[in-house]
């Protein structure tokens, strides 16, 4: 049971959602956006979160879109992870999000919720960073590059939300690899997830679970693409350029994470360099 009362709104337009948020916010009410709701409900039940007003984004048609236009794939942030995988439209994204949670939870968890999760994993962002995705932010006319709003986490103005993700179609069928290792079962938080794709014979690679935020790094990619060195040396050196220390927590020690990470990076290089 959720131990507090809140007002619930389900607007049918982007403008209506922003206006509802702004009105409540101006009245001093703590207001949150809600997409799949799984994180909201879990955190509210355990008193890790409180809200006076909840604005459900699932009634907004743009947030439910999943379609190809002339040049791009458009993914509404209210689309469930299962729908994305089942569509087969962007296999790297589909395969990556297919390893998040269990099948029943993935019917509810949305891409927007995953990208804005308070947990450190946000695995759905890896393919989007690799594909130079753009985002449509509520209230803004023009889409912006994802890396303009993603600095360790997605940061938006309080009343703004992510409405759509836009991926240029030229990225959809490039050679890719996506691998996840958990502590015990197939379903679980990642000890390490490594997603990669090959574009113009250059490896692009992004990580989740290893540092306290998901990331893609130009330094790491430059080292891994320097094929004058053996793969083992490239991987050792690339890890020294990670933007933060390896996580050491109840799921895995930093040493174990390093071991798993090196294996995944070796497998990734092996798979994608063979595809060159």
Ligand X SMILES: Cc1cc2nc3c(=O)[nH]c(=O)nc-3n(C[C@H](O)[C@H](O)[C@H](O)COP(=O)(O)OP(=O)(O)OC[C@H]3O[C@@H](n4cnc5c(N)ncnc54)[C@H](O)[C@@H]3O)c2cc1C
* End-to-end CA, the chain: 53
> Which listed residue (20, 75, 100, 195) binds ligand X by CB under 6 A?
100
> Which listed residue (122, 134, 204, 234) binds ligand X by CB under 6 A?
122
The CB-of-253 to ligand X minimum distance in angstroms stands at: 19
Total residues interacting with ligand X, rule: CB under 6 A: 30
205: left (phi over 0), alpha (psi -120 to 50) or beta: beta
> Which listed residue (101, 167, 196, 235) binds ligand X by CB under 6 A?
101
108 binds ligand X (CB under 6 A): yes
Choices 15-23, 38-46, 126-134, 239-247; region in contact with ligand X by CB under 6 A: 38-46
189 binds ligand X (CB under 6 A): yes
> Which listed residue (82, 85, 96, 117) binds ligand X by CB under 6 A?
117
Choices 9-17, 67-75, 115-123, 223-231; region in contact with ligand X by CB under 6 A: 115-123
162 binds ligand X (CB under 6 A): yes
164 binds ligand X (CB under 6 A): no
> Which listed residue (18, 20, 38, 216) binds ligand X by CB under 6 A?
38
Choices 34-42, 83-91, 225-233, 257-265; region in contact with ligand X by CB under 6 A: 34-42
In the complex with ligand X, which residue's Cβ is closer, 33 or 215?
A: 33
Q: Which residue is nearest to ligand X (CB)?
A: 113
Residues engaged in binding ligand X (CB under 6 A): 32-40, 57, 77, 100-101, 105, 108-110, 112-114, 116-117, 119, 121-123, 161-162, 189-190
């Amino acid at each position: 049971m959720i131990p507090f009362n809140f007002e619930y709104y389900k607007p049918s337009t982007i403008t209506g959602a922003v206006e509802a948020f702004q009105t409540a916010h101006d009245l001093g009410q703590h207001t949150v956006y809600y997409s799949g709701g799984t994180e909201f409900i879990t955190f509210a039940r355990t008193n890790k979160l409180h809200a006076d007003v909840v604005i459900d984004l699932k009634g907004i048609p743009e947030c439910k879109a999943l379609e190809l236009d002339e040049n791009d794939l458009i993914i509404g942030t209210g689309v469930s992870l299962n729908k994305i995988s089942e569509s087969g439209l962007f296999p790297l994204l589909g395969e990556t999000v297919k390893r998040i949670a269990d099948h029943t939870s993935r019917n509810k968890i949305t891409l927007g919720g995953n990208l804005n999760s308070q947990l450190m994993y946000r695995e759905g962002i890896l393919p989007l960073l690799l594909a130079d995705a753009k985002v449509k932010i509520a209230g803004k006319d023009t889409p912006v590059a994802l890396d303009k709003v993603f600095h360790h986490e997605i940061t938006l103005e309080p009343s703004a939300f992510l409405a759509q993700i836009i991926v240029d179609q030229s990225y959809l069928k490039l050679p890719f690899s996506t691998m996840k290792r958990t502590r015990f079962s197939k379903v679980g938080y990642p000890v390490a997830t490594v997603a990669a794709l090959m574009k113009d014979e250059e490896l692009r690679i992004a990580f989740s679970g290893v540092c306290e935020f998901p990331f893609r790094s130009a330094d790491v990619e430059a080292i891994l693409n320097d094929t004058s060195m053996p793969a083992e040396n490239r991987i050792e050196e690339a890890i020294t350029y990670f933007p933060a220390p390896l996580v050491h927590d109840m799921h895995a020690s930093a040493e174990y994470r390093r071991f798993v990470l090196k294996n995944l990076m070796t497998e990734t290089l092996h798979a994608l360099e063979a595809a060159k």
